[in-house]
Amino acid sequence: MFGPYERQISEAYRSIYVNVDEYVAGISKWVPNARRILEVGCGEGAVSERLAAVYPDAEIIGIDIAPNVGRLYSGPPGRVRFVQATIEQYHATAPGEFDLVVLADVLHHVPLQLRASLLDAIRKMIAPGGHLAFKEWERNRTPIHWLGYFSDRWITGDRISYMSRDELHQSIAQSFGRDSIIAEQRVRPWRNNLSLLVRP
């Protein structure tokens, strides 16, 4: 619909809700030496592009179930390999371990009954000593939450459902262990952006 301006408009829209640069910079401070990175649910590549910039020596793979995987990526060519696959399909064809797996703003798109199996599949792909960088939009009663909910619902058409901070912590604890969350931070411009560092 927006032709050549699509990327700029997509970035401007996203920036209403989250500062993606600040988010990825936070990950790189938490996990400075990642060499093999998997982004699950990478979408059109906004986070992957920043990962390529802050981890110039890492091998980066972005997977997504949607056909538009990596479509708006405009980082250095060849720095991220994009694959359309579920994590189970990807694991079956390219089993391997990653020292950093990133899951950003994906869980609220996944049906409730499938969330635990997605997180379990991710755990199996993290190398010993590796990390999951997990980000979600926290549900609360603020106007920005409802604006985000309705725009996400309208734009993606998915039956999204957000979780509270406690629910997010519980889900992570169930799949990765009780003390697996080792750091937590909020990402501007809204406190709803909850970023967790998880070590299984």
Q: Which residues bind ligand SAM (CB under 6 A)?
A: 40-43, 46-47, 64-66, 86-87, 104-106, 109-110, 118
In the complex, what is the shortest distance from the CB of residue 114 to ligand SAM, in angstroms, rounded to a whole number?
7
Specify the residue, 72 or 183, whose C-beta has the smaller distance to ligand SAM. 72
Closest C-alpha to 133, from 184, 86, 65: 184
In the complex, what is the shortest distance from the CB of residue 47 to ligand SAM, in angstroms, rounded to a whole number?
4
Torsion of CA 85, 36, 29, 86, to 10 degrees: 10
In the complex, what is the shortest distance from the CB of residue 106 to ligand SAM, in angstroms, rounded to a whole number?
4
Cis peptide before 189 (omega within 30 of 0): yes
Specify the residue, 7 or 128, whose C-beta has the smaller distance to ligand SAM. 7
Residue 188 identity: R
Residue 197 near residue 135 (C-beta atoms within 8 A): no
In the complex, what is the shortest distance from the CB of residue 152 to ligand SAM, in angstroms, rounded to a whole number?
7
